[in-house]
Amino acid sequence: MNERRGNPPFQFRLDPELRKAMEEAQRQDGDESLAAWIKRIIRKELKSREVK
Protein backbone atom coordinates (compact mmCIF):
# COMPACT_ATOMS: atom_id res chain seq x y z
CA MET A 1 0.00 0.00 0.00
CA ASN A 2 1.33 3.44 -0.97
CA GLU A 3 0.64 5.36 2.25
CA ARG A 4 1.80 8.92 2.82
CA ARG A 5 3.64 9.85 5.99
CA GLY A 6 3.29 13.13 7.83
CA ASN A 7 1.07 16.02 6.96
CA PRO A 8 -0.24 16.48 3.43
CA PRO A 9 1.31 19.34 1.44
CA PHE A 10 -0.50 22.62 0.97
CA GLN A 11 0.20 24.18 -2.41
CA PHE A 12 -0.46 27.69 -3.66
CA ARG A 13 0.90 29.97 -6.35
CA LEU A 14 3.07 32.98 -5.60
CA ASP A 15 3.92 35.72 -8.02
CA PRO A 16 7.69 36.13 -8.39
CA GLU A 17 7.86 39.50 -6.63
CA LEU A 18 5.97 38.22 -3.58
CA ARG A 19 8.13 35.10 -3.39
CA LYS A 20 11.31 37.18 -3.60
CA ALA A 21 10.10 39.45 -0.75
CA MET A 22 9.12 36.41 1.34
CA GLU A 23 12.51 34.75 0.78
CA GLU A 24 14.29 37.95 1.84
CA ALA A 25 12.18 38.16 5.02
CA GLN A 26 12.90 34.48 5.69
CA ARG A 27 16.64 35.08 5.43
CA GLN A 28 16.45 38.19 7.64
CA ASP A 29 14.49 36.25 10.26
CA GLY A 30 16.91 33.33 10.16
CA ASP A 31 14.40 30.62 9.27
CA GLU A 32 15.89 27.56 7.55
CA SER A 33 13.31 27.42 4.76
CA LEU A 34 10.47 29.38 3.27
CA ALA A 35 8.03 26.73 4.51
CA ALA A 36 9.34 27.11 8.08
CA TRP A 37 9.03 30.89 7.82
CA ILE A 38 5.44 30.67 6.52
CA LYS A 39 4.44 28.26 9.29
CA ARG A 40 5.99 30.50 11.96
CA ILE A 41 4.24 33.59 10.62
CA ILE A 42 0.89 31.79 10.45
CA ARG A 43 1.28 30.42 13.99
CA LYS A 44 2.14 33.91 15.24
CA GLU A 45 -0.96 35.34 13.57
CA LEU A 46 -3.22 32.62 14.95
CA LYS A 47 -1.80 33.11 18.44
CA SER A 48 -2.49 36.85 18.24
CA ARG A 49 -6.10 35.99 17.39
CA GLU A 50 -6.18 33.37 20.16
CA VAL A 51 -6.98 30.63 17.62
CA LYS A 52 -5.65 27.19 18.53
Q: 32 in a domain, yes or no? A: yes
Query: Is the distance from CB of 31 to CB of 42 less than 8 angstroms?
Result: no
Provide the domain limits for residue 31: 16-48
- Residue 22 is predicted with a pLDDT of 96
Q: 21 in a domain, yes or no? A: yes
- Residue 51 is predicted with a pLDDT of 82
Over residues 1-52, the pLDDT tens digits come to 556 678 888 899 999 999 999 999 999 999 999 999 999 999 999 999 998 7
Q: 28 in a domain, yes or no? A: yes
Q: 9 in a domain, yes or no? A: no
H and E: helices and strands count for the chain: 2, 0
Query: In a 3-state reduction of DSSP, which class is residue 39?
Result: helix
Q: 26 in a domain, yes or no? A: yes
- Residue 20 is predicted with a pLDDT of 97
Q: 4 in a domain, yes or no? A: no
